[in-house]
Chains A and B, each alone.
Chain A
Amino acid sequence: MAELARPTGGGLAVYGRLVSAGVRGRVYRPGWLLVRTIGSGLIILADGFAVALVVDRFGTLAGWSAPEVVLLVALSAAGQGLGLLLGDRLEPTYFSELVRRGTFDQVLVRPTSPLAWLIATQVEARYVGRLLAGVGMVAWAADRSGVVWSGGHLLVALLALVCCATLVLSICVLGAALTFATVEGSEVVNIFIYGGVTLTGYPVQIYGSVLRFLFVWVVPFALAVYVPALVLLGRTGPPGLPAALIWVSPVATAGFTGLAALGWRHGLRHYVGTGS
């Protein structure tokens, strides 16, 4: 009998099918999914509302008006939504359970990249709510702050969204990689996924130098969100973080993603070497 499984070819289409299968599997209870999706979006709206209210009461936050701050909150929330859509299940609590139960071993005997498999089969559809709410808030905030939606600006907004999402996903991957070494210790990545995004929602100049350095150059959320926002709002930005850095944003994001990929490769090798 000839070889039934062809040795090569196919590539990305397979992952598309895995995503579709994963989502379909959960949609058999559509009411529940819809509720959680709406809830996910409502949280973002509540946060945005609260921030707008507070900044409005005070008039300004470090020179930024309420809608301008909401723009920051919205961009980071939308990016987080997209990132968590793909990476939520890589979080230490879920991933460690996967490894503990031996399900990860099953993933390893598949003819696919284990990371791509994990992401594709565990898409968390409910975060679409967060993404959509964020995008909606971007539209509102942009309108209120007089942002002109030129082609260039649209690209910049998209860049912010994609970079932020990529950062969040990369942190999730790092968290999973860390889980191979220490389960409870890897929880620290949640601080960056949630704390980092919250931090990015406010203009970066309000923070002390340590935090600023950390989130501009180490985990470059500020480059991913704040700098594009500067461009959108036509602001020049504080010294040390000018709007011109927009060209650095994708580079920094890619750099961080590369680090995350290396971390995963290292963690996987460690797992396969020691059986954890």
Chain B
Amino acid sequence: MRAYLALVSAGFRRQAAYRLALVSGLLTNLFFGVVRTSLFLALYQARPEAAVNGLDYQDALTYVWMIQALFGVIWVSWIWEFPESVRSGDFVTELTRPGDPWLRQLAYELGRTGQLLVFRSTLPLLGAALVLPLALPTTVPGALATVASMLLAVVVSFEVRYLFGLAAFWTADFRAPFSIAFPLLWLVGGFTIPVDYFPGPVRAAAEASPLSAMVMAPIHVAIGWPAWPVLAGQAAWVVVLGLVSRGGLALACRRMVVHGG
């Protein structure tokens, strides 16, 4: 157990070393946040009190800044490290070590994303909250639920990325499946516009998918949806995708052994 905690802290420290990257990350967040805030302010300008598809303009602004907060931790900059290490053969050493490689990677990842969450994500979010009328939770349970939801979202995103990374065991072109899938994930996940705006059936499908657990869930919790159902849904996806990704790893390893690496 202590080994995993050590990994978390190692991951945290590793991300902390990139100072200038943090600054440029913050500036990027700020920039996109401002642009999209302008967009939604202009959209709601005609009818500021209206709720479009259940989102009023405070919800929309909250969405903008929470997406910025989540973006860097969902689609992390080190997304290709795992499949690259598989392709180069470095990953084999991971398999020879005692313990659980999947859990180890998760621990390290939590450390890294944790650092990003604390420094790169929350600062712009809180800054925006001071200036704009965001619909962030004002109670402690609400805040805790939001944080918990964000953490669950991070774990789900780890598992989704892990699944894409497993492609490296089967092909050298491991970026291909992701490259094709990403536009869909991008859209249906809600990175450009909230899923809430989608027409009925599409919205239902999106919300039933793990993408929702990864992106919109923490936002919904933040703007005030009942937390427990959302969190439960996320937890369910954590378990399901966890089993699938671990199963995928086991399958990949067996294949490696059979084919001689």
Contacts and interface: CB of A to CB of B under 8 A. Distances in A.
A55 B187 CA distance: 16
B172 to A, nearest CB: 9
Nearest to B47: A58
B29 to A, nearest CB: 10
A42 B180 contact: yes
A54 interface: yes
Contact of B46 (A31, A58, A198): A58
Contacts of A49: 187
* Interface of A (DSSP majority class): helix
Contacts of B21: 184, 187
Nearest to A202: B39
Given A46-B184, A207-B38, A184 B46 contact: no
Given A188-B24, A188-B27, A191-B31, A54 B193 contact: yes
Interface string A176-215: 0000001011011011000100110011001110010000
Contacts, number: 102
A50 B187 contact: yes
B186 interface: yes
Given A46-B183, A46-B192, A188-B24, A31 B42 contact: no
Interface in A49-79: 49-51, 53-55, 57-62
Contacts of A47: 187, 192
Interface residues of A, number: 40
B91 interface: no
Contacts of B27: 188, 191
A47 B197 CA distance: 14
Contacts of A195: 28, 31-32, 35
A31 B179 CA distance: 12
A252 to B, nearest CB: 21
Contacts of A182: 20
Contacts of B192: 46-47, 50-51
B186 A29 contact: no
Interface string A238-267: 000000000000000000000000000000
Interface string A33-51: 0011011001101110111
